[in-house]
A = this chain, B = another copy of it.
Amino acid sequence: MLRIAYMRTLSFFYSLGDLFSKTIPIIKVEPEDLFQGHKEALFFSCGAYSVTCVVKTARTIAFKPLAVYYLLLSYGSKIMTTQTKKTTLASAMPDVQAADDYRQIAIDKVGVKDITYPISLHCPATGNVQHTVAKVNMYVSLPHDQKGTHMSRFLEVLNKHREQIRSDQIMSICADIRDRLEAPEAHLQLTFPYFIHKKAPVTQSPGMLDIQVTFDATAGDKNEFIMSVKVPGKSLCPCSKEISAYGAHNQRCEIEARVRFTAGKMMWIEELFDIVEKAASSPVFSVLKRPDEKWVTETAFDNPKFVEDIVRDLAIMLDNEDRICWYQITSENFESIHNHNAYAYIEKDKDECCE
């Protein structure tokens, strides 16, 4: 079977471009002859000098003749070295991503993933700025007839906004991606450590607790913003406490709440954090002096919780928060009696869901 890969044929084109520059006229193109009726092949005219052009093969890509320079040429059996030719064509570098696609398959998300980037978060409520480092994913939807997206533009948008990230304006950055990429829909995901200034419970020693925050925005026909906080806590097992003569197994746990806000409403990271942290048997801290450690130990013992209790108690708190219209919550407890974890998950969509 004759299979001419798309990029090869484009390379042929450059030879053609070279021919053109020598003003060789192309009278006619007979695609049918060339591809012997292969249904996926498209052909352009070209004449006297036996110019033949193939645009598409089974595994590759149709190409629109955006200009005469995009023609593809087999010049008899002679193949010029592509190296020197291409250099002369640098100014006419083809925009492969902007070409048409023939496969009729739209892509839900395409873009860049796992970018490590420094950002500055501004909190309009407090005026505070926090510098942190985010993992960033940026995607757009791609209509069925478009070959590819322009990956470098994502980074340009990110660079433009990175000093001014605000949770209440994340949608406008996402809209900027959509506009810059000329896409129907854009997605922006930022995941970063965020630092909560917390004093130890008794000695009031200052410290910072790192939580993981995610902003997940979609701009398109439907706009959506999901904020997520992943908060470390301490869980203490009620069963262990109950059945044991003394003590109770306890462990670090990680409680996550992903929430959507009711239309027109918002919460700051700290506000959501405050709720989530309450679901644990005890909060955790970065600096604990002995009286603080005593407090944490006793607080957890007084407040035993199964992983089920953590998500249920959190669900009740989020049910009571009318700024939140939808949530997904999980707790993963790094069981200190096993080498595996306990896990629970609840999702709820309140009816008055956000637009």
Enumerate chain A interface residues (CB-CB to B < 8 A): 3, 5-8, 10-11, 59-61, 79-87, 90, 93-97, 101, 103, 105-118, 120, 130-133, 137, 139, 142, 147-149, 151-152, 155-156, 159, 192-193, 195, 205-210, 232, 234, 236-252, 282, 284-291, 293-294, 296-298, 300-304, 306-309, 311-313, 315-316, 332, 334-347
* Cβ-defined contact, A59 with B313, below 8 A: yes
Q: A84-B245, A112-B342, A250-B251 are in contact. List 10 more A-B contacts (CB 8 A).
A: A97-B239, A105-B312, A110-B343, A111-B344, A117-B208, A118-B195, A232-B339, A247-B250, A251-B336, A282-B337
Known contacts A97-B306, A296-B337; A159 and B290 CB within 8 A of each other: no
Contacts of A244 in B (CB 8 A): 86, 293-294, 297-298, 301
Q: Which of B59, B155, B308, B347 contacts A207 (CB 8 A)?
A: B155
What would 23 A/B residue contacts be, using CB atoms closer than 8 Å? A61-B238, A86-B245, A93-B290, A94-B243, A105-B346, A107-B311, A107-B345, A110-B311, A111-B342, A113-B332, A113-B342, A116-B339, A133-B193, A139-B343, A139-B345, A152-B288, A155-B207, A156-B205, A234-B336, A241-B247, A244-B301, A251-B252, A288-B338
Q: How far is the CB of A168 from chain B (nearest CB, A)?
A: 22
Residue of B with least CB distance to A192: B133
Q: Which residue of A81, A118, A151 has the most chain B CB atoms within 10 A of its CB atom? A: A151
* Cβ-defined contact, A245 with B87, below 8 A: yes
Residue of B with least CB distance to A307: B110
Known contacts A234-B337, A338-B288, A339-B116; A107 and B308 CB within 8 A of each other: yes
Q: How far is the CB of A102 from chain B (nearest CB, A)?
A: 10
* Cβ-defined contact, A83 with B246, below 8 A: yes
Contacts of A209 in B (CB 8 A): 339
Q: How far is the CB of A194 from chain B (nearest CB, A)?
A: 9
Residue of B with least CB distance to A92: B243
Q: Considering the chains assembled together, what is the distance between the CA atoms of A142 and B306 in angstroms?
A: 13
Contacts of A132 in B (CB 8 A): 118, 131, 133
Q: Which of B111, B148, B242 contacts A343 (CB 8 A)?
A: B111
Q: Considering the chains assembled together, what is the distance between the CA atoms of A242 and B284 in angstroms?
A: 19
Residue of B with least CB distance to A304: B7
Known contacts A304-B7, A337-B288; A236 and B245 CB within 8 A of each other: no
Q: How far is the CB of A110 from chain B (nearest CB, A)?
A: 4
Q: Which of B113, B296, B343 contacts A340 (CB 8 A)?
A: B113
Q: Considering the chains assembled together, what is the distance between the CA atoms of A322 and B234 in angstroms?
A: 41
Known contacts A205-B152, A286-B340; A294 and B345 CB within 8 A of each other: no
